[in-house]
Chains A and B, each alone.
Chain A
Amino acid sequence: MSGPAGIPSAGVSEEELAHIAHLARLALDPREVPRLREELARILALVDEMNAIDTADLSPMAHPVETAQRLRRDEVGEEDRRELLQQGAPEVEDGLYLVPRVVD
């Protein structure tokens, strides 16, 4: 994938694409793979272009808005709305959300 500053990336291999898709829990249609690899390669080429710029004197920008995080007072301001919130859940029992069994 994208290398350190200045070194062009070699795009995304099929294995890398499959790995990323798995991490994101995306089921890829094999027919989509060539197109996605091409699109990702173009995105990474853009990253390469940015990596080529000397940023030694610049501080990283974590956010496009130039203000700092606002803080909240430590007060309970939310009331219990479980019944309302659980209306959107596919399955509920005794106040618990039920999901397909996951085993550790």
Chain B
Amino acid sequence: MDTSRWEAVIGLELHAQLATRSKIFSGAPTGYGAPPNRQACAVDLGLPGVLPVLNGTALSMAVKFGLAVGATVARHSVFARKNYFYPDLPKGYQISQYELPIVEGGAVHISTEGASRRVGITRAHLEEDAGKSVHDVVSGRSAIDLNRAGIPLLEIVSEPDMRSAAEAVAYMQEVHAIVRYLEICDGNMQEGSFRCDANVSVRRRGEHALGTRTELKNLNSFRFVERAIRHEIDRQIAVLESGGTVVQQTRHYDAERNDTRPLRDKEEANDYRYFPDPDLLPVEIDDAFVESIRSALPELPGDRRRRFVADYGLGLDEARLLTSDRHLANYFEATLGDEGADPRLAAHWVTGELGAHLNREGRDISASPVSPEMMQGLLRRLRDGTVSGPVAKEVLKAMWDGEGDADHVIEGRGLRQVNDDDALSRLVDDVLDAHPDQVSQFRSGRQKVLGYLVGQAMKASRGKANPQRVNALMRARLTE
């Protein structure tokens, strides 16, 4: 299969659950993991006679997103009914926005392997989430939990601007970082707080008309998005190369088999007969409201990433890792308060050794037992030569385990680096006396054993000896 003759065209629909306390149209709570139907009130159930009332915070969050991506925030927007039948949608319609969404236009900038691209945002609109259907707990029945019904969603629709699975993931990660920076979505993909559907088509390179697309569902991790899209591109190319045609349909991604299969006929599914919801009045917002939100916008991940590269001299990958999470970026910057602080050293320790501790225990940076101040104290001792790298790892581990700050651990455990030449000379003499064979090997020309002897001295000092000084003293003694 010759994939180089083909070009993929990808657009994403992202659903971000907005991090409100209560639902978009009712006062029921939104917490994750409650027992079935304990957080579903009469409005969420769509009982007759109830009236939805819009949650002002959900509206502010949507506006916040629009401003963050440079979009137009509509001063006048309308809620519409999207009509379809499914048991986890008890009203028979989902309240969404259609003709006049709250956010239109805007863009996100991504870069993959050095190339950068602007991905346009068509629109972002507010809607309510549906409930959950479970098909395997009661035989012959579907079981419905409506706790999720009415949780506010922001559906973010991109232009078909991406050309590879890697670009799709980069875009999704960028939007994921933005919504978390804005603190409008917790971004937890396992819990379904951030979801992705992908529209994928292919066309011959150089052609402008779009090919027939399929919509991929059930992409609930960055890894699955990449794998599913890659798989779907290959499938479509194979169909076209063998003289077939791509059928417009929704396909469900099966992560276990790394395969997609058709879900339903898109034509009928798309006949939603939208119309303005008579229960909800048009949403009018004024400039003062928009400006008050704009003035409170935080620095966004893309800006912060560029600043980390320009001001701190970090590599792009390191900057991207540090800025992927606002709290991580804050943590990093909080370790730089010292005069003479070394941002690259700090980045190395925060993403490296501290990152390894966090990963091992599955903790978020905000739950790190080592505070930025404690990390700053350790970095200070690394810079002034009180401890070497290997000893600093031991100090970090001790701080992680609750033994106090770096100076406390260094004094308490006697880890201060030995720089005193008298003490180091005694150490060198002891090692040489204990290894007469290696000494004579060195003297007969096998200079490589020096590394071994230095290693023995470092071991004897439990890592505390200044390795450069040991090396120099040992070489001097051996060549006397």
Contact = CB atoms under 8 A, between A and B. Distances in A.
Contact of B54 (A25, A71, A77, A104): A71
Contact of B21 (A68, A75, A82, A100): A75
A69 B283 contact: yes
A27 interface: no
Contact of A77 (B27, B133, B135, B142): B27
Contacts of A85: 37, 40-42, 45, 47
Given A96-B37, A101-B140, A104-B263, A68 B86 contact: no
A56 interface: no
B143 A93 contact: yes
A74 interface: yes
Interface stretch (A5-13, A40-48, A59-67): A59-67
Contact of B143 (A23, A63, A86, A96): A96
A35 interface: no
Interface string B36-51: 1111111101010000
A73 B26 CA distance: 10
Interface residues of A, number: 35
Given A69-B283, A72-B55, A75-B22, A95 B83 contact: no
Contacts of B134: 96
The winner among A25, A65, A76 for most chain B CB atoms within 10 A is A76
A85 B28 CA distance: 14
A73 B140 CA distance: 42
B21 A102 contact: no
Report the interface size class on chain B: 35 or more
Interface string A80-104: 1110011000010111111111111
A78 interface: yes
Give the dominant DSSP class at A's interface.
loop
Contacts of A76: 21-22, 27-29
Contact of B144 (A72, A74, A97): A97
A39 B173 CA distance: 53
Given A65-B281, A104-B252, A97 B263 contact: no
A75 B40 CA distance: 15
A28 B144 CA distance: 29
B143 A98 contact: yes
A23 B41 CA distance: 27
A31 interface: no
B271 to A, nearest CB: 6
Contact of A86 (B37, B39, B55, B263): B37
9 contacts: A62-B276, A67-B281, A69-B54, A74-B55, A76-B28, A77-B27, A80-B38, A97-B87, A99-B142
Interface of B: 20-22, 26-29, 35-43, 45, 47, 53-59, 78, 83, 85-87, 100, 133-135, 137-138, 140-146, 252, 263-264, 271, 273, 276, 278, 280-284
Given A72-B53, A93-B141, A96-B137, 12 more contacts: A23-B271, A68-B281, A68-B282, A69-B282, A70-B281, A71-B59, A74-B22, A75-B21, A81-B42, A85-B42, A86-B37, A97-B37
